[in-house]
């Protein structure tokens, strides 16, 4: 203990001896911090690798069963050999197979993506030959688009690709810091070679041979080099199409040109999806930034380009709408945090002046805030961190705590000056007496984050690391300032005049009498303390463990649940009908705007509500549902809460048909669970497929294979992509070989499709195969290599996850499932279980770490035991605060409790450390306790007041993480409630606990001494 006291005195002596050196050091740190605040990358979230991989295998126009059999299952088997997989899910539909892998947070996701590619390459020969590519995606928080733009117009935008690319997409791509721009909803024109089936049949042209001829005619290759005249010259045979005319004049066969059997034109590819914005067709534009660029600067530069486009006459009648601007939400969140921090800092200054009654000493103490924050910013810059909402949250939380060390040191120095006329000696003595206490207090505040940094990783702990870094660096900076700069400046001040018996003196007398009563009536006080702890059960039984059930970004998602296999035009009509209903009631439903997305089997509308809502979101949802128009092709319902995953029950088994039968029985029963709404099975509408069953014997007689038949049908319906060619300013232009559109709309025309010309006749498709239409699933989902089906729901406003869990478990316990089938809770249940269990373990580890640090620093087991009891009362305060404010126990609340644990013990450390010093000076235990408490009650109240007042703006305001995430208020309420309650109780109960432990140690020592004496007498006898 002495070495820490001496170290503090030595630092103070150095500061007093070298004032210019010390001032220049801190001035340089201030400048570095200000410079770092400009150089630090500004972003919403820090660049973190998300431990997820998505393997996507595009395979157009195949049935989900076929995709599952030929692609999904082989890929799943290959990927299952990867280590560390927590979850594997897959989706097979008519366009592609998607396999989703989730790993633990401590896995190297870059290495896993390489392993996944290697495993897929090893089975590439098992996949269908016409699988063109396998895509493996990994994600980083920096990979999300920073800007989402929607383009709508009353005029037709289907041919606007070139306009948008030249005047919007390409200028944005040239903005410094922009890495990629995605334009979707409008497609680049292609050259369509549409074969006329009648002409092909009449001229006896073989489609498969024609496809090969077209591929061979459009090529570019390197043929090596020749050496002539001492020069090495590359040889490059050119066989590329140079114009549309060359394609038309291509000789297919002697006397037959391509234009004789096909119509060759520029045309836009057929739309497969659509978007509406304010009831007008919309086009999407996503902008991504480079990871090292400044988010706000890039966003502003993109906005300038958009403004220039709006001024362009070519964009007359075109509306550019900013759907999402990450920079806007970040600046809003950061400005809210900054505003809350400034208000908190101002309140802290006022309360400090109220205690110190001297502006000079108040400003000296407050100096630790800007200096500590600047040092933290400089360190973050050199350590490679960014300035984001998490690091800002850490700095914001630290503002109220940064003056704690300075307050304790200043108070101790002033106390010594009252009895020591020599200012230098008084300063050294004052610092020495509290040096150990402030070091222990800072260490315990920082150590609570250690289990989150080195322990089990979940999304909360990974992001919490960035909060911890900001808090810890600034706190250790404040410790350094309190040991050096504060003593230097305080030594120059005149001694504080002694207070009279009014004001604080009255509180001192009241506190002294309360202490005397507490120590004199130990049994009654112990019963009161026990009653306080038992009372925790009351709020614990009422406060729910839940996530926020409201969408904080004022956006509702409406899923249409399309009931059947309808064309894009038919689905668009349903969307138009819903949008007409919503806009007819725009004022009543408080709607700001509606954005819709739809394809042939799916449609969803995003309803953005006004910023200030007079009623709850759930009430608006009920109002919208009450007057839903009737739909023939859709059963609209609100989508499950995407913020936390919604309430999900996953059924597992082998057969999709059995799972759907089970869902039909379970969904009606789950609708009876109180608090659940929008209950439905996550089943896409069934579709139909036209199966072509080739008769192999007939095909053999005509010299045709089943593959030849499949290739011709594929060309007729899906088309074949040929090699692109370069055309002027438009660059690469796709060439696509396909039949006329009549074939795609008529089964009879398809039956009469000529597959091959035999010696005497045209062989049509119906001569070789049976054609029939059968129903099929639109997609097949699998979970851990089992077929899966999800049942989901939303929570009503009054319901909690815990209540929903109990209701679902009670119902499922009474439902008998077929053999080999099971169910599991997913979505928010899984997320909450993982996060809360890890946070609870980390909180227990944090208590152990706090005890270990205090025991090591104080070289005592008694003192930490006394101080640690204040944690129990702080938790009581947290739950009562949650009950009184109507706050649920969420992850943000648990983070607040974690930070609270490090703060609460500081008061006890300062208190008990002074009592120990007085006992060492010869005071009796009771007198030392009373005198120590009276000496330290003032700095304790000052530090508690500054911390609480610094957090009040966050507790009362609506500031949210990132501007659209969870609110900060539960965290602030937890810290304020726990700190306030534990301070009020610890000032009386902690001294009693310490006295009882001293008595216990004395009695234990006497018992051991008596035992030793007895053993000595027995052995001597």
For residues 722 and 737, is the Cβ–Cβ distance under 8 A? yes
pLDDT score recorded for residue 686: 60
pLDDT score recorded for residue 123: 86
Please calculate the CA angle 556-558-564 and round it to the nearest 5 degrees: 170
CA distance 737 to 999: 95
DSSP bridge partners of 232: 227
Report, as an integer, the average pLDDT of 118-146.
83
The proportion of the chain whose per-residue pLDDT surpasses 70, expressed as a percent, equals: 89
Token duo for residue 559? 């899923």
Q: Do domains 1-39+370-492 and 506-542+860-1014 have the same CATH topology?
A: yes
pLDDT score recorded for residue 775: 65
- Asked if pLDDT for residue 455 goes beyond 70, the answer is no
Q: Encode pLDDT of 234-274 as tens digits.
A: 777 776 777 777 777 778 777 788 777 888 887 777 777 88
Contacts of 992-997 with CB under 8 Å at 24 or more apart are 992/518, 992/519, 992/522, 992/525, 992/526, 992/529, 993/866, 993/869, 994/862, 994/863, 994/866, 994/912, 994/915, 994/929, 995/519, 995/522, 995/925, 995/926, 995/929, 996/522, 997/862, 997/865, 997/866
Across 220-224, 373-377, 750-754, 823-827, least confident range: 220-224
DSSP bridge partners of 593: 608
CA distance 690 to 434: 84
A 10 A CB-CB count for 618 gives 19
CA distance 491 to 387: 36
Report, as an integer, the average pLDDT of 427-443.
83
User: Which distant-in-sequence residues (6+ apart) come within 8 Å of 297 by Cβ?
Assistant: 42, 177
For residues 590 and 620, is the Cβ–Cβ distance under 8 A? yes
Domain 553-632 has CATH 3.30.70: yes
pLDDT score recorded for residue 22: 87
Mean residue pLDDT across the chain: 79
Q: In the structure, what pLDDT confidence band is assigned to residue 958 with cuts at 50, 70 and 90?
A: low
The proportion of the chain whose per-residue pLDDT surpasses 90, expressed as a percent, equals: 1
- Asked if pLDDT for residue 502 goes beyond 50, the answer is no
CA distance 801 to 807: 10
Annotated domain spans of the chain = 1-39+370-492, 49-140, 206-223+235-260+688-776, 506-542+860-1014, 553-632
For residues 30 and 373, is the Cβ–Cβ distance under 8 A? no
| Summary count for the chain: helices (H), strands (E) | 37, 32
Topology adopted by domain 206-223+235-260+688-776: 3.30.2090
Of residues 333 and 787, more confidently modeled = 787
CA distance 67 to 130: 12
Q: Encode pLDDT of 602-629 as tens digits.
A: 888 888 888 777 777 778 887 888 888 8
Report, as an integer, the average pLDDT of 865-881.
84
Q: Which of 623, 570, 600, 650 is nearest to 817 (CA)?
A: 650
- Asked if pLDDT for residue 220 goes beyond 80, the answer is no
Report, as an integer, the average pLDDT of 941-956.
81
Phi, psi of 823 (to 5 degrees): -140, 155
DSSP, res 90: E
Q: At what angle do helices 891-920 and 862-885 cross, to 10 degrees?
A: 140
Return the CATH superfamily for domain 1-39+370-492: Multidrug efflux transporter AcrB transmembrane domain (1.20.1640.10)
CA distance 437 to 867: 12
DSSP bridge partners of 638: 558
Q: Which of 618, 632, 677, 636 is nearest to 804 (CA)?
A: 677
User: Which distant-in-sequence residues (6+ apart) come within 8 Å of 591 by Cβ?
Assistant: 582, 583, 585, 607, 608, 609, 610
pLDDT score recorded for residue 827: 65
What is the DSSP secondary-structure string of 751-771?
Answer: HT-EEEE-SSSEEEGGGTEEE
Q: In the structure, what pLDDT confidence band is assigned to residue 438 with cuts at 50, 70 and 90?
A: confident
User: Which distant-in-sequence residues (6+ apart) come within 8 Å of 349 by Cβ?
Assistant: 362, 366
Report, as an integer, the average pLDDT of 952-971.
70
Domain 49-140 has CATH 3.30.70.1430: yes
pTM, to two decimals:
0.71
CA distance 865 to 909: 11
Q: Encode pLDDT of 538-596 as tens digits.
A: 887 777 655 444 445 577 888 887 777 777 888 888 888 888 888 888 888 888 888 88
Return the CATH superfamily for domain 506-542+860-1014: Multidrug efflux transporter AcrB transmembrane domain (1.20.1640.10)
* Cα dihedral sign, 572-576-582-583: positive
Q: Which of 794, 831, 790 is nearest to 644 (CA)?
A: 831
DSSP bridge partners of 318: 153
Report, as an integer, the average pLDDT of 34-40.
85
Of residues 961 and 516, more confidently modeled = 516
pLDDT score recorded for residue 503: 41
């Amino acid at each position: 203990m002495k070495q820490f006291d001496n170290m503090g005195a030595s630092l103070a002596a150095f500061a007093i001896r070298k004032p210019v050196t010390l001032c220049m050091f801190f001035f340089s740190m201030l400048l570095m911090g200000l410079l770092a605040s400009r150089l630090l990358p500004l972003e919403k979230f820090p660049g973190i690798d998300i431990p997820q991989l998505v393997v996507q295998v595009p395979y157009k126009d195949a049935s989900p069963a076929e995709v599952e059999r030929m692609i999904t299952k082989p890929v799943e088997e290959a990927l299952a050999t990867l280590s560390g997989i927590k979850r594997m899910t897959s989706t097979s539909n008519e366009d592609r197979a998607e396999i989703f892998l989730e790993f633990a947070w401590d896995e190297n996701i870059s290495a896993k993506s390489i392993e996944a590619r290697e495993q897929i390459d090893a089975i590439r020969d098992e996949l269908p030959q016409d699988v063109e590519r396998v895509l493996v995606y990994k994600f980083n928080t920096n990979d999300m688009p920073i800007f989402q733009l929607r383009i709508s117009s009353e005029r037709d935008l289907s041919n606007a690709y070139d306009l948008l690319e030249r005047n919007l997409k390409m200028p944005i791509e040239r903005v410094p810091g922009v890495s990629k721009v995605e334009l979707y909803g409008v497609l680049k024109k292609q050259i369509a070679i549409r074969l006329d089936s009648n002409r092909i049949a009449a001229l006896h042209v073989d489609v498969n041979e024609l496809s090969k001829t077209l591929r061979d005619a459009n090529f570019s290759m390197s043929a090596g080099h020749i050496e002539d005249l001492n020069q090495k010259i590359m040889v490059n045979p050119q066989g590329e199409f140079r114009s549309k005319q060359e394609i038309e004049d291509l000789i297919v066969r002697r006397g037959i040109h391509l234009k004789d059997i096909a119509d060759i034109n520029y045309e836009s590819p057929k739309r497969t999806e659509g978007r509406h914005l304010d009831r007008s067709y919309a086009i999407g534009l996503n902008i991504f930034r480079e990871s090292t660029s400044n988010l706000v600067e890039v966003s502003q530069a993109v906005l300038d380009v958009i403004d220039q486009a709006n001024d362009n006459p070519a964009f007359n009648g075109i509306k550019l709408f900013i759907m999402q601007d990450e920079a806007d939400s970040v600046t809003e969140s950061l400005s809210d945090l900054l505003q809350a921090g400034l208000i908190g800092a101002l309140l802290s200054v006022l309360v400090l002046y109220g205690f110190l009654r001297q502006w000079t000493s108040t400003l000296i103490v407050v100096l630790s805030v800007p200096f500590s924050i600047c040092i933290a910013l400089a360190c973050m810059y050199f350590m490679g961190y960014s300035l984001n909402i998490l690091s800002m949250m850490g700095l914001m939380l630290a503002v109220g705590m940064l003056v704690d060390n300075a307050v304790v040191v200043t108070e101790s120095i002033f106390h010594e000056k009252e009895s020591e006329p020599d200012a230098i000696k008084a300063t050294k003595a004052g610092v020495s007496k509290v040096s150990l206490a402030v070091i222990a207090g800072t260490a315990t505040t920082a150590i609570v984050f250690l289990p989150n940094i080195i322990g089990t990783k979940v999304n909360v702990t990974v992001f919490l690391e960035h909060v911890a870094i900001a808090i810890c660096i600034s706190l250790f900076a404040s410790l350094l300032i309190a040991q050096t700069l504060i003593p230097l400046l305080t030594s120059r001040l005149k001694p504080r005049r002694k207070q009279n018996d009014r004001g604080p003196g009255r509180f001192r007398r009241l506190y002294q009498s309360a202490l005397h009563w507490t120590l004199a009536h130990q049994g009654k006080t112990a019963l009161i303390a026990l009653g306080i702890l038992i009372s925790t059960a009351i709020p614990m039984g009422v406060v729910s463990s839940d996530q926020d059930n409201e969408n904080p970004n004022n956006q509702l998602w409406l899923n249409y649940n399309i009931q059947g296999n309808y064309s894009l035009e038919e689905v668009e009509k349903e969307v138009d009908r819903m949008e007409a209903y919503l806009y007819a009631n725009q004022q009543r439903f408080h709607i700001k705007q509606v954005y819709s997305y739809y394809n042939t089997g799916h449609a969803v509308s995003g309803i953005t509500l006004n910023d200030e809502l007079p009623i709850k979101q759930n009430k608006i949802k009920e109002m919208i549902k009450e007057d839903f128009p009737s739909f023939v092709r859709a059963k609209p319902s609100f989508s499950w809460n995407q913020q936390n995953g919604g309430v999900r029950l996953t059924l597992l088994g082998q057969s999709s048909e059995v799972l759907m039968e089970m869902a039909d029985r379970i969904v009606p029963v789950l609708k009876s669970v109180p608090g659940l709404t929008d209950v439905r099975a996550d089943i896409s509408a069934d579709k139909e497929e036209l199966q072509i069953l080739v008769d192999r014997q007939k095909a053999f007689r005509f010299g045709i294979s089943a593959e030849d038949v499949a290739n011709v049908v594929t060309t007729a319906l899906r088309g074949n992509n040929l090699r692109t060619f370069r055309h002027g300013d438009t660059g690469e232009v796709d060439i696509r070989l396909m039949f006329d559109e009549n074939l795609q709309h008529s089964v009879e025309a398809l039956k009469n499709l000529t597959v091959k010309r035999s010696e005497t006749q045209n062989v049509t498709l119906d001569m070789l195969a049976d054609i029939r239409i059968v129903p099929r699933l639109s997609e097949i989902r699998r979970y851990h290599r089992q077929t899966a089906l999800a049942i989901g729901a939303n929570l009503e406003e009054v319901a909690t996850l815990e209540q929903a869990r109990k209701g679902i478990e009670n119902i499922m316990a009474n439902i008998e499932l077929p053999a080999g089938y099971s169910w599991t809770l997913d979505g928010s249940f899984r997320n909450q279980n993982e996060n809360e269990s890890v946070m609870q373990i980390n909180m227990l580890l944090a208590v152990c770490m706090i005890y270990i640090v205090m025991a090591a620093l104080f070289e005592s087991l008694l003192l930490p035991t006394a101080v640690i009891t204040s944690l129990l009362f702080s938790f009581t305060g947290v739950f009562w605060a949650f009950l009184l404010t109507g706050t649920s126990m969420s992850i943000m609340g648990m983070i607040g409790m974690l930070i609270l644990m490090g703060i609460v013990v500081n008061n006890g450390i300062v208190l008990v450390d002074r009592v120990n010093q007085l006992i060492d000076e010869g005071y009796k235990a009771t007198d030392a306790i009373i005198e120590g408490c009276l000496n330290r009650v003032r700095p304790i109240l000052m530090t508690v007041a500054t911390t609480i007042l610094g957090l009040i703006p966050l507790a009362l305001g609506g500031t949210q993480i990132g501007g659209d995430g969870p609110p900060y208020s539960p965290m602030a309420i937890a810290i304020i409630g726990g700190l306030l309650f534990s301070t009020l109780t610890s000032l009386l109960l902690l001294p009693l606990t310490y006295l009882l432990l001293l008595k216990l140690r004395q009695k234990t020592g006497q018992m051991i001494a008596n035992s030793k004496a007895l053993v000595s007498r027995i052995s001597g006898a």
